[in-house]
Amino acid sequence: MLNLADGRLSWLPVQKWNQSCIALVSAGPGAFLRVLFVTTEMDDFVRVGGLAAVSAALPRALRSWSDVRIILPGYRDVVEQFLHIEIVGQCAPLADMPACSLGLTATKDGLPVYVLLCPQLYDRPGNPYGDASGRDWPDNDVRFGRFASAAAQLAAGALDKNWAADLVHANDWQAALVPAYLAWNAAKVPTILTIHNLAYQGLFPKESLRRIGAPEESFHIDGLEFYDKLSFLKGGIVYASHLTTVSDTYAKEITTSELGCGLEGLLRRRSDAAQLTGILNGIDESWDPRVCAQLAQPFGAGDWEGKRANSDYVRHQFGLAVSRGPIFGLVARLVHQKGVDLVLSAADEIIEAGGQIIVTGSGEPEIEQALVDAHRRRPDAIGVAIGFNDAQARRIFAGSDFTLMPSRFEPCGLSQMYAQKFDFSAASAARSRPSWRRIAWTRCAAARCRNRSAGTFRQHCTARSTGRLCRLKSMRSAAFPASQARSWRGPSRQRRQAR
């Protein structure tokens, strides 16, 4: 157990924070813990990747025992979705960071959401981090420095006269400086930083230090300095009270030189001091094919007619040829990490062997273009939807026979959990004789491919297309354990089976 300096909280790993991980025990008996969840994406309003899904699901799972509130930057897309935002505070300018207002509003189901309003920084087209052509905004240091410093002020009780936080839960580099600003202002609010992907660090030239109002002495090997640059993520790793990441495996991987992105030494030190915990992601309960309203037809265990109706639906929607061959689905951010190139290099063989491919997502323009080109070449067999639409993604999971996940590395990954939730027919599949059966491409299979070659990946896919499924049985039992509990409310032990 760790007693935090101000004595307000004590906390210990494994118990209550999402009921399976970091426990936080409020000192006042019966008091509701006030948690500020700091994120730059949330599925309800704005999404780039898995962070948005976690930011929508985890706070909701925490609501029954904490007063959890979200803070988001007031991007154009976010602000436009609210009818009313009440202004509860004002932030003065700090260094090159402009003044801004803090608004308070709520999701449709009543989860309080603070929105940081600063049109100069956030009222732009494009995605949260860059313009429509995928280039990062040149002032991202100021945009997310402003966001982190305002969140720190809010947590410390300096912005909303009716609310302060007992705990800050910051996510990824964009929010990683919240613990740093709290420390620089001697505000004793305990903080957790969750690393969803260490590869994204928020690196800026050292001049950014002045722009974001960070003290000069923080540009130090034990502070924000990283190879003569300023690293937002390192700031969080240094200053947060505790670090978590999105799976046990990744908690270990980031302490190695292979996946530590140059921060492994520091992370190893924090891990050795029991200040780094792997907490497996969960998904929300809406991922249930029996009730999911977005599907062409709901289906349950062993309902191969229902399953086929969903396959036919996506085939038709994407203009693919009528077929009884398998559909290979890929739902991902279209970035190098996700291994889309492996899928493209396997495409011809998959198609030749009778399979079809459906991909959706957005990301690097070259990858998007390569997919569009592949679709133009084989419109009968390769369906592509650039962009992200939750309903579309669900229909692809429901219609696919195989979910592809050939990531080069994957901190956790949510697709394999969705894939498994959308096919709990494994047991009956073994007995029935559907023409094609669906297997989630488990992370372990993906990792095997990563360590081998693109050729191996091709062979795996082709084998599945042609029905030479020699390893089907063992893969199926690995991919479809009897328990389907993947939600944030269940113990992480159960979610672990999905990884």
Q: Residues interacting with ligand GLC, by CB under 6 A? A: 49-51, 54, 196-197, 246, 281, 410-414
- Of 326, 308, 303, the closest CA to residue 428 belongs to 303
Tokens of 357: 């491919």
Separation between Cα atoms, residue 492 and residue 485, nearest integer Å:
9
Closest distance between ligand GLC and the C-beta of residue 246, in Å? 4
Report, in Å, the least distance between residue 393 CB and ligand GLC: 14
Half-sphere exposure of 122 (CA within 13 A, CB side): 27
CB of 197 to ligand GLC, least distance (A): 4
Query: For residue 459, how many C-alpha atoms fall within 13 Å in the half-sphere facing its CB?
Result: 10
CB of 366 to ligand GLC, least distance (A): 20
Select 35 or 209, whichever has its Cβ closest to ligand GLC.
Answer: 35
CB closer to ligand GLC out of 41 and 349 = 41
Give every CB contact of residue 287 below 8 A, 6+ residues apart in sequence: 394, 417, 418, 421, 422, 486
Is 153 or 497 the residue whose CB approaches ligand GLC more closely?
A: 497
Closest-CA residue to 271 (of 238, 243, 246, 305): 243
Chain centre distance of CA 156? 27
The DSSP annotation for 138-191 comes to TTHHHHHHHHHHHHHHHHTTSS-TT---SEEEEEHHHHTHHHHHHHHTT----E
Of 235 and 361, nearer to ligand GLC (C-beta) is 361
Q: Cβ distance 123 to 150 under 8 Å?
A: no
Q: Which residue's CB is nearer to ligand GLC, number 49 or number 325?
A: 49
Q: What angle do CA 17, 152, 64 make, to 5 degrees?
A: 30
| Closest residue to ligand GLC, based on beta-carbon distance | 50
The nearest distance, CB 140 to ligand GLC, in angstroms, is 18
d(CA 267, CA 60): 29
- Answer positive or negative: Cα dihedral of 239, 243, 246, 247: positive
Q: Least distance in Å: CB of 205 to ligand GLC?
A: 26
Q: Which is nearer to ligand GLC, 50 or 73 (CB)?
A: 50
Q: Using the minimum distance from each CB to ligand GLC, give the nearer residue, 214 or 280.
A: 280
Phi-psi region of 426 (alpha: psi -120 to 50; beta: other; left: phi over 0): alpha
Q: In the complex, what is the shortest distance from the CB of residue 55 to ligand GLC, in angstroms, rounded to a whole number?
A: 9
Closest distance between ligand GLC and the C-beta of residue 417, in Å? Answer: 9
Of 79 and 195, CB closest to ligand GLC: 195
Q: Which is nearer to ligand GLC, 337 or 459 (CB)?
A: 337
b/e code 39-71 from CB counts within 10 Å (16+ = b)? bbbbbbbbbbbbbbbbbbbbbbbbeeebbbbbb
- Minimum gap (Å) between residue 273 Cβ and ligand GLC: 23
